[in-house]
Structure 1
């Protein structure tokens, strides 16, 4: 149950969109803040395709973070959907976190300012600060201070070194509205198990294959049979071309077995259950450029 808020703002709750360029570390940051591996993480850019809500409780506040695809522009229809997901998240939230890797120039931040156009208050989160010397970090902070009238705060963080977590959460809470909690305090995400398992299989494809193949694949969870201590999952990897199917399967099924083993371990770690995973591969030519096929895969355009 949500706490009583009859007194002077005893609880806060709100949505916080997490945005930035592709591969800025959004999912890594959120997994660190929630203390659980929920969001898909890949060293390859543009791995996240849909919004995902991740819930963090901090003091008297419930922070609903919205993980988003990286802000980028490409002609492919799937990429247009991804950009629209980020823009919608900005419009729907109470606060925005703009993630700025410390080594980046300010070009991405300037583009974000144009995109946001003052619609929502935002905090600049300077990430990967452990990759800079103290002198270089101070120089970078000084560059952002030129825009201090545009942001609520600038918080340097390092997931690797565990720096800045409480400071960031404290700053976020300041900007959240007074509200009862919107979800059960034990809940870590509003995303259902089907979507989480799908993302774990997608992450395993990114981890085990290079070049364009991961970007031209998707995953359909065909069936989940949930039992005490065991989930039986059937899933299909969708590829664009027959040649990609051959690579995904691999010689003697070696690649698909490796992807399946990797995904199964991720799913077991998350669920605390044994996982029996069956993976298949099918070809849907041009799916990432076809609105009807994208809709069938769960990418709904308004």
Structure 2
């Protein structure tokens, strides 16, 4: 299979431009969690597409930001790692964005010396005239041939874009077995499903103060039994996560369980406990224990 192609397609962009949604649509699985809030993605996650002719390894990354504490520093290190192994870049912007904000990062991508695409996302939020003008502005930066306008949330058929990406891959043997759809474990995905629902159920700083660890994951013939711990930074946050008479935690558990059942295609029994791990986001040694690099 000397003409087999394989490589890493790394998605880069500022928070909440739709990187995780694009990954999910390209792979055809809800691997990366999404929410309307910024900084939902904390760790790099790989989605894998394997055919007889190629293997695309598509990498979702945290959003670009200026870090102010240890967790955010770790998140930015994930982006730096994506620059080390990229065979193709996808740089994502929103339809309303202006080029000057992005010139530094587009310059870094150009200097990497690999093929890249500029994806203009959320075109459903603009009109045709405005979009054409924006594409002209971006074409002066990247060249028209590198631009792809789309709405990742609503597009269902990504096959044409997948084919474009595959054409740009280097000749290389597969990096992962053909049955793999991600580099992440089932435990990681289960934890992320819980964290995802926290962004929808809780307000203000609470979702950003939550970390989830799967303590037990036991798969039986007809059911998966999962025990999870939610860590928060302060005692006051623990009370909010649990809620009056445990109602908030019950709502979270139900929503997360349904998402897990849809993903794993099997019944799930989920129990969740809440503990305080004081200021965990600010301590590098604790972050390592929680699975961050």
Q: Normalising by structure 2, report the TM-score.
A: 0.94
Residues 1:258 and 1:120: Cα distance change in structure 2 (over 3 Å): farther
Q: 1:148 aligns with which of 142, 145, 148?
A: 142
Name the counterpart of 1:35.
Answer: 28
Q: 2:197 aligns with which of 189, 201, 204?
A: 204
Residues 1:148 and 1:113: Cα distance change in structure 2 (over 3 Å): closer
Residue 169 in structure 1 maps to residue 145 in structure 2: no
Residues 1:49 and 1:230: Cα distance change in structure 2 (over 3 Å): same
Q: Unpaired runs of 5+ in structure 2?
A: none
Name the counterpart of 2:246.
Answer: 253
Residues 1:257 and 1:188: Cα distance change in structure 2 (over 3 Å): same
Q: 1:284 aligns with which of 267, 277, 281?
A: 277
Name the counterpart of 2:217.
Answer: 224
Name the counterpart of 1:87.
Answer: 80
How many residue pairs match? The answer is 292
Name the counterpart of 1:130.
Answer: 124
Q: In structure 2, the residue corresponding to 1:146 is in which secondary structure? A: helix
How far did 1:36 drift?
1.5
How far did 1:74 drift?
2.3
Contact 2:18 2:152 in 1 (8 A): no
Name the counterpart of 1:178.
Answer: 171
Name the counterpart of 1:274.
Answer: 267
Q: Normalising by structure 1, report the TM-score.
A: 0.92
Q: Unpaired runs of 5+ in structure 1?
A: none
Residue 188 in structure 1 maps to residue 181 in structure 2: yes
Q: In structure 2, the residue corresponding to 1:155 is in which secondary structure? A: strand
How far did 1:170 drift?
2.5
Name the counterpart of 2:104.
Answer: 111
Contact 2:21 2:153 in 1 (8 A): no
The structure with the greater share of residues assigned to helix is 2
How far did 1:196 drift?
0.5
**Which string of whole-angstrom CA distances, capped at 9 and with x for unpartnered residues, describes residues 20-78 of structure 1?**
00111011111111111111111100010001110124672211001110111121110
Contact 1:223 1:235 in 2 (8 A): yes
Residues 1:161 and 1:40: Cα distance change in structure 2 (over 3 Å): closer
Q: 1:95 and 1:185 mapped to 2: Cα distance?
A: 20
Q: 1:212 and 1:160 mapped to 2: Cα distance?
A: 25
